[in-house]
Structure 1
Amino acid sequence: MEMNVSKNDEQVIARKSGGLNPSVIIPILLLVGIAIYLFICGNPGNFQDDPRIKGVASVAFANIESKELHPHGLGMVYMGGFIVPILITFMITVLVFAFERFFVLRKASGSGNIDNFVLQVRSLLNQNKVDEALEECDRQQGSVGNVVKEGLTTYKALSHDTTLNKEQKMVALNKAIEEATTLEMPMLEKNMMILSTLGTVATLVALLGTVIGMIRAFAALGGGGGTPDAAALSIGISEALMNTALGIGTSAIAIILYNFFTSKIDGLTYKIDEIAMSIQQSFAEFN
């Protein structure tokens, strides 16, 4: 049995399926994060030579206590514990989806200066030059141009419609613009929730790593028959602080990028609303 899919439904599906798919990308990034933790941060070159582990081909087979006494460089990151690869994955995820949003929003802004496009279309509408305004939309090739083009196409159709009164035409025009705007928004806002979520979750996961590190530090203070284990104490504190640093850094970057992209989306939405009002005013004046 065949199903009839409307043009609007096809556009909605296309916008929802555009961009990166988080359910596929995030597991891949998790594997990348684990690989970075094990093979880059855990590389034997990141640990100073120690007679007790001399000749060991890989840090993974070295005595953990000996290894922990001599980290340097990325080895300090490795000492953050099992929470670190999760935080590394969070950081990579933020960067990957930030680049994705950057290119998507850049494409949505279209070609040329969007402010000039808005001024040009408003000027043409004031002169009732609808065809010339449609040509500007074709040249703009962005989300604003798509919405405006849909509104102007409906504008032309309603101008020649003799079955509806002026009030009904205005309602139909407003509805067409609103539907066109609604179709564009999923593409603009897709994956923004990931940046927002990681801005909060990264800090909480880092706090978990910090608590685990402090537990190890206090356990070292209470062990050794009354004599604190200075090496274990320093390792626990280092683990706690490394998780804190990674989590706060990731969270800060995610929040900054989220607010930046949100402002860009709001700017595009404002431009759409600005031209939509001009379309409605022009239609009311010339029809």
Structure 2
Amino acid sequence: MLLLQIQTELDTTSLDTSAADAVTVWDLLLKGGFVMIPLLLLSVLAVYIFVERVLTIKKASRVPEQFTDKIKNLVASGDINSARLVCSQTDTPIARMIEKGISRIGSPLKTIEASIENVGKIELYRLEKNLNLLATISGAAPMIGFLGTVTGMIQAFIAIAQEEGNVSPRLLSTGIYEAMITTAAGLAVGIIAYLGYNYLVSQVSKVVHKMEYTSVDFIDLLQEPR
């Protein structure tokens, strides 16, 4: 009988442990309270911005092979219309900058440079679209998480104050860990948004470098003696 009782107690302890381990991440997130709603929205927005910007920047960085050489040969031979046609058929920032420069051929060199630079600024603005919003999310998400922790701690201490007699450690620990969930969630969203922002900035810098190199190369072409 004694062995049977011990075995029963062990089985009960094992079931309790298994039930505790069965708590999923989703269950923990639900315990975070109303603050988890804006954090969820910010996470979805951050992922959307990141994916949309990656696709846009990747498309902008693609330059067809022999594009620059073809433009050089057409401009050098004086076939300006064909050069503009090639640029118009290529949907990239570099092609649009070169097309603007070709359309200004015959004007002073400074005018051509200014025209290309203005188009470059517009293209840079398009590439950096919503990056500031992603940076804002990376800073705002942890702050919202901290806010949820503070409000959760306040609620936990109110519940403790309303308890009569000795406060159970379970009540105290439950209130604290539920409050800390929002901090963890906010930091997770903030870190992901921060890493995504820095990655996108680096990719934009690479595209801008290509734009600058191509524009300088085009200006040098116009300065060559004929």
TM-score bracket, shorter-length normalisation: 0.7 to 0.9
**Aligned partner of 1:145: which letter?**
A
State the match for 2:23 in structure 1.
72
State the match for 1:180 in structure 2.
119
**Aligned partner of 1:257: which letter?**
G
Contact 1:90 1:202 in 2 (8 A): yes
Match of 2:192 among 250, 253, 259: 253
Displacement of 1:264 in angstroms is 1.4
Displacement of 1:241 in angstroms is 2.0
State the match for 1:204 in structure 2.
143
Structure 1 residues 121 and 215: alpha-carbon distance in aligned structure 2, compared to 1, 3 A threshold: farther
Q: 2: CA distance between counterparts of 1:271 and 1:117? A: 13
The alignment of Structure 1 onto Structure 2 pairs a total of residues equal to 203
Displacement of 1:77 in angstroms is 0.9
Displacement of 1:248 in angstroms is 0.7
Q: 1: CA distance between counterparts of 2:57 and 2:30? A: 36
Match of 2:101 among 151, 173, 178: 151
State the match for 2:61 in structure 1.
109
CA RMSD of aligned residues (A): 2.9
1:101-121 Cα offsets, whole Å, 9 max, x none, are 1222223224546xx756x46
Q: 2: CA distance between counterparts of 1:235 and 1:92? A: 28
1:255-277 Cα offsets, whole Å, 9 max, x none, are 11111111111111111111111
Contact 1:90 1:250 in 2 (8 A): yes
Q: 2: CA distance between counterparts of 1:243 and 1:121? A: 57
State the match for 1:240 in structure 2.
179
Other structure's SS at 2:32 match: coil
Q: 1: CA distance between counterparts of 2:83 and 2:165? A: 83
Structure 1 residues 231 and 130: alpha-carbon distance in aligned structure 2, compared to 1, 3 A threshold: farther
State the match for 1:97 in structure 2.
49
1:4-47 Cα offsets, whole Å, 9 max, x none, are xxxxxxxxxxxxxxxxxxxxxxxxxxxxxxxxxxxxxxxxxxxx
Q: Which blocks of at least 5 consecutive residues in structure 2 are unaligned? A: 1-19
Structure 1 residues 272 and 130: alpha-carbon distance in aligned structure 2, compared to 1, 3 A threshold: farther
- Given the two structures, how large is their TM-score scaled by the length of structure 1? 0.62
- Given the two structures, how large is their TM-score scaled by the length of structure 2? 0.77
**Aligned partner of 1:89: which letter?**
L
**Aligned partner of 2:56: which letter?**
V
Relative contact order higher in (CA < 8 Å, ≥ 6 apart): 2
Compare CA radii of gyration and give the structure with the larger one.
2
Displacement of 1:191 in angstroms is 1.2
State the match for 2:129 in structure 1.
190
State the match for 1:270 in structure 2.
209
Contact 1:83 1:205 in 2 (8 A): yes
Q: 2: CA distance between counterparts of 1:279 and 1:226? A: 83
Identity over aligned pairs, percent: 25
Mapping 1:28-67, distance limit 5 Å: none
State the match for 1:137 in structure 2.
87
Displacement of 1:226 in angstroms is 4.3
Displacement of 1:234 in angstroms is 3.0
Matched, 1:216 2:166: no
Displacement of 1:133 in angstroms is 5.8
Q: 2: CA distance between counterparts of 1:235 and 1:129? A: 78
**Aligned partner of 2:76: which letter?**
N
Contact 1:196 1:255 in 2 (8 A): yes
